[in-house]
A and B are shown apart, each in its own frame.
Chain A
Amino acid sequence: GIQVEQSPPDLILQEGANSTLRCNFSDSVNNLQWFHQNPWGQLINLFYIPSGTKQNGRLSATTVATERYSLLYISSSQTTDSGVYFCAVESGGSNYKLTFGKGTLLTVNP
């Protein structure tokens, strides 16, 4: 099945700093999503982005489908950005399921 690798596994930032999270995947995808799992365990949809670039406030994401990677940018980080960020993909060979990466644990210190 498709492989999804996220980097870095852990990231510690000072409030106000910028960061880039990366997601590499091993096959073409129909769906790519970024999620934020907050400290209460909720999985919050950030972006649905199988290709192209999207922005939502301080967050933006870019997926280069031909090169099989996606990037999540967080600017001016806040303590509420802390949590685990997951990339998940659905590929033509793995219909009807999202395959998740292992996540990036982000800690933003005040």
Chain B
Amino acid sequence: DTAVSQTPKYLVTQMGNDKSIKCEQNLGHDTMYWYKQDSKKFLKIMFSYNNKELIINETVPNRFSPKSPDKAHLNLHINSLELGDSAVYFCASSPVLGQDNTEAFFGQGTRLTVV
């Protein structure tokens, strides 16, 4: 059973298009995240949600809009895609901060290529 799954795995699209990436976790975690990995492999937080509530928005452009319909899902919608949005996007989940073990688990990543 996949713990954190995101779809699609690969996404190639033209500039200006709108696209969505879906993420689901079956670990019963309260907190979910989106991370971006750039071409130099650097991983940086974009958004954190706790119990469907936005906790962190790390200076991400408004074109990126996360949506959490329930605790197990966190989707990422991107409007008006730009060349610079090309990257690998990772979804992750963890238990809520304050518990003894806050280990985070990551999905397999979505490689977005904007042409």
Contact = CB atoms under 8 A, between A and B. Distances in A.
A45 interface: yes
User: Do most interface residues of chain B lie in helix, strand or loop, or is the interface mixed?
Assistant: strand
Contact of A41 (B50, B55, B56, B88): B88
Contact of A90 (B55, B97, B109): B97
A43 B42 contact: no
Interface string A77-97: 000000010101010000111
Chain A: number of interface residues, binned into ranges? 20 to 34
A43 to B, nearest CB: 4
Interface of A: 30-31, 33, 35, 37, 41-43, 45, 48, 84, 86, 88, 90, 95-100, 102-103
Given A41-B111, A95-B97, 6 more contacts: A31-B104, A88-B104, A96-B48, A97-B45, A98-B33, A103-B42
